[in-house]
Amino acid sequence: MRRRALAGLLLLLATDIAQAEPRHGLSAFGDLKYPASFRHFDYVNPDAPKGGELRGWQLDSFDNLNPLILKGVSAQNLGLSFQSLMVRAMDEPDAVYADLARSADLAPDRSSVTFQIDERARWHDGSPVMAEDVVFTVEATKKDGHPLYQLILRDVESVTADNRRSVTFRFAETESRRDLPLIVATLPILPKAWFKSREFAAPTIEPITGSGPYRISRVDAGRSIVFQRVENWWAKDLPVHRGRYNFAHIREDYYRDRDIAAEAFFAGEYDYREEVIARVWATGYQGKPPFDQGRIKREVLKDETPSGVQAWFLNSRKPHLSDPRVRQALNLAYDYEWANKTLFYSLYKRTRSMFENSDLAASGLPSEAELKLLEPYRAQVPPQVFTEEFQPPRTDGSGNNRANLKQAQELLLQAGWRIENGKLVDAQGKPFTLEFMLFEPSFQRIINPFARNLERIGITVSIRVVDVSAFENRMRSFDFDVMSRRFAQPLTPGIEQRNYWSSRAADTVGSFNFSGVRDPAVDDLVEHIVSARNRDELRTATRALDRVLMWGWYVIPHWYSGTVKLGYWDRFERPAVKPAYDVGLIDTWWIDPKKDRALNLPRQR
């Protein structure tokens, strides 16, 4: 008996060891495209030549180079200077592969994960990357980091350095264990030593020592930043990096005005633009000599990612926006069909889902599986969740929105408002005022016709344009009525949905729950997303959540195209295969020296 028990114990231990053997990659549901022996991603040219300067642009300004904190306005593309334990493959929904860590030992129940840091890993100053750097980064972020990170890291129970090169994360008994190993694997790692005499939570314009493919070589605060490729970078031959980061320098210039930035592009001041303004794409290129001469190219690339949530967010924390009938009335006053034809050159499609451009979006009536999730909340959610497919209000595009405006006014009256001298007022006679908050004036041309419709039903509208710092501060503290914003949805939604929609996030400064959603049904459905064990369960949960959110009228949805519209100076070459979930320009394209010489563009570095 004893011998049999010992044999059983040895078998059990052997099984556990086999299940927890080191992995070269991780994913939410265990699916990996690339084997341990892979040499490079399929969407790169492993022999791409190196050199030259890529010049990009950004809007507004920056005053912070720490990517993990709330204070200040962070510069873009800081990820070029830092590494994470593992790095995403951009042709898989959620797979990550070895980077700073050469392997990950994941517990069978995902209660813990241990990363073995590559012995070759070095900071840019030559010092080794240690387990204590990982521990410092996580603990500092949980204590003083951006609330977004604090929220998603709250279920990291502990992070410990087992030795100089081994670090173990242990996770609380929670449904979020599915995603937590991926979350911690992709967190940018910062050096403990650099912060010995500096405050982690304070914005800094001094470059932080990194370990990534580029170091920050020059900073003109608020105006420009230059990244320089690290020669003899320790990780350049890792499979996840071979064929990537081909530019010797990457420069980002900041412009306060979109139109000025567009003119600078045609003057050759920078290399590429992703066009998000339909007017510029439709009319801004023709007649410009560099485009007419073929020196600037335009291209429409397929976008296989969820389009993200872009909308006017209605702040339901405000008393006059707390009633869903009021929020529905505001939706009825927006004439998208007219705007798309008149302002957007019919280039867009209307957003009708929080998971648009993906199979996660709800359509038709709820499936049997969705109904099982929704049924417990039948008395609490809008009845249309069960009986109708959500569609935003429609018009004929003529500009005559009278029928919708009549319906909107009826809803406002039902919600307790009344008309007095042509103005909408509450029971105490206080007028209904609505302020749109912007950080750039170009969006006013889209709001103005919407505002005229709102004024027809008695609402007093104002548009306030504030500088980017004030915008960020008011957004973080939810000090607004209506705000236009966009945030991305991942291919495998999970813990981040708490930050977007949960009741807890509604009261968390800096969260992305801009509309202040506080709904037990939403909280429960978010947890079903977090705990989904396979993609079928994930689709069911996201679609059910989608229905509740859209019928709650928390946003006035904008528009999407399902493509990336790119304009660029013709000085590049690129791999034959585009990554499915990224443009790939910054990290997979390279400069063709012959094309570059022919263009003779100005150099600013």
Domains in the chain: boundaries: 62-222, 223-303+562-599, 309-560
List the structure tokens of 7: 């044999």
Q: Is the pLDDT of residue 18 over 60?
A: no
Confidence of residue 2 (pLDDT cuts 50, 70, 90): very low
Q: Are 58 and 253 in contact (CB under 8 A)?
A: yes
Of the candidates 134, 136, 156, the one whose C-alpha atom is nearest the C-alpha of residue 144 is 136
Which residue reads 């339901």 in tokens?
316
Angle 293-297-299 (CA atoms, 0-180°, nearest 5)?
150
Q: Which pLDDT does position 15 carry in this prediction?
A: 36
Q: Are 334 and 327 in contact (CB under 8 A)?
A: no
Q: Are 159 and 131 in contact (CB under 8 A)?
A: no
More confident residue, 468 or 111: 111
Q: Which pLDDT does position 5 carry in this prediction?
A: 38
List 135's β-bridge partners, or say none: none
Q: Is the pLDDT of residue 11 over 70?
A: no
The rounded distance, in Å, linking the Cα atoms of 160 and 565 is: 45
The average pLDDT across 333-341 equals: 98
The rounded distance, in Å, linking the Cα atoms of 115 and 27 is: 15
Backbone angles phi, psi at 500, to 5 degrees: -80, -35
The rounded distance, in Å, linking the Cα atoms of 312 and 483 is: 5
The rounded distance, in Å, linking the Cα atoms of 479 and 465 is: 14
Q: What is the pTM of this model?
A: 0.88
List 116's β-bridge partners, or say none: 103, 166
The rounded distance, in Å, linking the Cα atoms of 97 and 111 is: 20
pLDDT in tens, 350-364: 999 999 999 999 999
Helix or strand or coil: residue 53? strand
Which residue reads 């982690």 in tokens?
200
The average pLDDT across 545-554 equals: 98
- The answer as to CATH 3.90.1150.10 being correct for domain 223-303+562-599 is no
List 329's β-bridge partners, or say none: none
Provide CB contacts within 8 A for 555, sequence distance 6+: 309, 311, 312, 313, 314, 515
The rounded distance, in Å, linking the Cα atoms of 328 and 343 is: 23
Could you name the CATH architecture of 309-560? Roll (3.10)
Q: Which pLDDT does position 334 carry in this prediction?
A: 98
Angle 150-156-160 (CA atoms, 0-180°, nearest 5)?
115
Q: Which pLDDT does position 175 carry in this prediction?
A: 76
> What secondary structure letter does DSSP report for 442?
G
Confidence of residue 20 (pLDDT cuts 50, 70, 90): low
List the structure tokens of 372: 């099982």
The rounded distance, in Å, linking the Cα atoms of 81 and 215 is: 5
> Do 62-222 and 223-303+562-599 fold alike per CATH?
yes
pLDDT in tens, 292-334: 999 999 999 998 899 989 999 999 999 999 999 999 999 999 9
Looking at the chain, how many residues does it have?
A: 605
List the structure tokens of 88: 């995403």
Of the candidates 126, 195, 118, the one whose C-alpha atom is nearest the C-alpha of residue 164 is 118
pLDDT in tens, 404-423: 999 999 999 999 999 999 99
The rounded distance, in Å, linking the Cα atoms of 219 and 225 is: 5
List 567's β-bridge partners, or say none: 273, 298
Of the candidates 236, 212, 210, the one whose C-alpha atom is nearest the C-alpha of residue 50 is 236
Q: Are 299 and 285 in contact (CB under 8 A)?
A: no
List 104's β-bridge partners, or say none: 23, 115
* Rg of the chain on CA atoms, in Å: 26
List alpha helices for 145-229, DSSP H.
147-152, 180-185
The rounded distance, in Å, linking the Cα atoms of 73 and 470 is: 10
More confident residue, 177 or 174: 177
Fold category of 62-222 in CATH: D-Maltodextrin-Binding Protein; domain 2 (3.40.190)
